[in-house]
A and B are shown apart, each in its own frame.
Chain A
Amino acid sequence: MIFATALMLMAAMMLMLVRLLRGPELYDRVLAVNSFGTKTILFLCVFAFLIGRSDAVDIALLYALMNFIATIAILKFFRYRALDVALSRTRRRGETR
């Protein structure tokens, strides 16, 4: 049962890889990368049960956090072509917009 889920997740990862390689636009590829990451996180959690080591869940937790950063970085670079542009501002005391 767990192995069947692992195989299904792996098949989903391979399908997402096809979209990553094919996707005509950049946004298709970004979507595919993000989704591939989510499926890999799920696969790692299931795999931790298969091999009996719970350490793999730590890696899944790490990648859940890192995937977000990578997606934001790619989108920001593609749109603003700069690193130092602020996407948002915090309002300080005494400041008005």
Chain B
Amino acid sequence: MNGEFLTPIDAFTVIDLIFMSMLVVVGIAIVRLKDLFAVVMLSGVYSLVSAAWFVSLDAVDVAFTEAAVGAGISTVLMLGAMLLTARQAAPTKPARHWVALIVVCATGAALLYATVDMPSFGDPLSAPNAYIGLEYLKRTGPETGVPNVVSAVLASYRGYDTFGETTVILTAGLGVVLILGLGGPAIKRKKTSAAKAKAAKIDQSKILGAHHVVLRVVSKMMIPVIIIYGAYVQFHGDFGPGGGFQAGLIIASAIILYALIFGIDAAKEAVPPSLVRLGAALGVLIYGGVGVINLLLGGNFLEYNILNPTHPSHGQELGIMFVEIGVLVTVASVMLIIFYGFTSRQPDISDKDW
């Protein structure tokens, strides 16, 4: 192990240390609190602090994904899951505490022992910084024409791995559909006359209160903006942080916001469950389809050079664009599948237990 301490203690190290201590505090609070609502909110805060910490560590793409996942989508889905279970965490038996403590200490000791062999933080001669990382940095510009090295590595150099990840996301969506279902299509509202509306008003007891004018107006303004921002993130992912994963999450968040404000039936009218089921598979099809087209054109699977033999870097750009679109479609559809799956269930717990 390198004996010198390569990281100077300066302002940014202080910021890093403060972020890490915030993470520790929030983590301890998540473990100690029994009220699951507070735990869900704290895990959202944990994600946000992690994202800010990643920005401080200069990993902007990772921070983007962490903020997109942990802030909107993860909170909503965990709340949906909590709705179907209970509000307080059940207390654990004291005997289990000791077993858990021993397991955690053993795992932590093994991890600490493994870090002894790792290169020092910021070592310029370590393998990722000197060999393969430097190679990627040198070759990404001329070979792919995409300035964002992370996107190029994700979609082109390690494209097969990303294909596997997209298939894993599809499998998760399939699991939710098989276990929970999607809840069926939207229940359409019929056009009613004035007399019928009066009678039907009693049935509309599900819509409570004063119609939440403020939230409705603000959401109507925000939803198109969020979708446009998702499209910006998708196509700007070649130049800055972003890409298919983050854009899919953002677009799913917009539709979830619509469902939260206007009801699940309105959302199911706008984005029907059949479309969502189709989209989940379509994204993987697009991704694999690009690979198969490369095979048919005479190249290897997912070797985009063959798409434009005279200008390989243009072929790379084309391949990366289509592949990211495939990822976008799958991720957005699967997030909506999970959301629809959670809403299709009625909770079994009574009001007094809540």
Asked if A and B touch directly (CB within 8 angstroms), the answer is: yes
Which A residues lie at the B interface, using CB under 8 A?
3, 6, 10, 13-14, 17, 20-21, 26, 29-30, 33, 36-37, 40, 43-44, 47, 50-51, 53, 55-56, 58-59, 61-63, 65-70, 72-74, 76-78, 80-90, 92, 94-97
The answer, yes or no, to whether B250 is at the interface (CB within 8 Å) is yes
Q: B60's closest neighbor in chain A, by CB? A: A55
Q: Tell me, in angstroms, the Cα distance from A40 to B226 when the chains sit together.
A: 19
| Contact assessment for A87 and B76 in the assembled complex, using a CB-CB cutoff below 8 Å | no
- If the complex has contacts A55-B241, A61-B229, A95-B191, are A66 and B72 also in contact, measured as CB distance less than 8 A? yes
Q: Tell me, in angstroms, the Cα distance from A76 to B259 when the chains sit together.
A: 11
Of the residues B51, B60, B260, contact of A69 by C-beta under 8 Å: B260
Of the residues A6, A37, A76, A77, contact of B48 by C-beta under 8 Å: A37
9 A–B contacts from the bound complex (CB under 8 Å) = A37-B71, A47-B55, A59-B67, A72-B260, A82-B347, A86-B263, A87-B262, A88-B262, A97-B197
| Contact assessment for A85 and B83 in the assembled complex, using a CB-CB cutoff below 8 Å | no
Q: Count how many pairs of residues, one from A and one from B, have CB atoms less than 8 Å apart in the complex.
A: 197
Count of interface residues, chain B, beta-carbon cutoff 8 Å? 80
Q: A67's closest neighbor in chain B, by CB? A: B71
Of the residues A6, A33, A94, contact of B15 by C-beta under 8 Å: A6
Q: Tell me, in angstroms, the Cα distance from A56 to B55 when the chains sit together.
A: 7
Which secondary structure dominates chain B's binding surface?
Answer: helix
- If the complex has contacts A20-B41, A53-B60, A70-B76, are A59 and B261 also in contact, measured as CB distance less than 8 A? no
Q: Tell me, in angstroms, the Cα distance from A82 to B218 when the chains sit together.
A: 21
Q: Return A10 CB to nearest CB of chain B, in Å.
A: 6
Which B residues lie at the A interface, using CB under 8 A?
11-12, 15, 18, 22, 25-26, 29, 35, 37-38, 40-42, 44-45, 48-49, 51-52, 55-56, 58, 60, 63-64, 67-68, 71-72, 75-76, 79-80, 82-83, 189, 191-194, 197, 201, 206-209, 211-213, 215-216, 218-219, 222, 225-226, 229, 233, 240-242, 246, 250, 253, 256-257, 259-266, 342-343, 347, 351, 354
- If the complex has contacts A55-B60, A68-B222, A95-B197, are A33 and B45 also in contact, measured as CB distance less than 8 A? yes
Q: Tell me, in angstroms, the Cα distance from A60 to B209 when the chains sit together.
A: 33
| Contact assessment for A72 and B261 in the assembled complex, using a CB-CB cutoff below 8 Å | yes
| Contact assessment for B189 and A92 in the assembled complex, using a CB-CB cutoff below 8 Å | yes
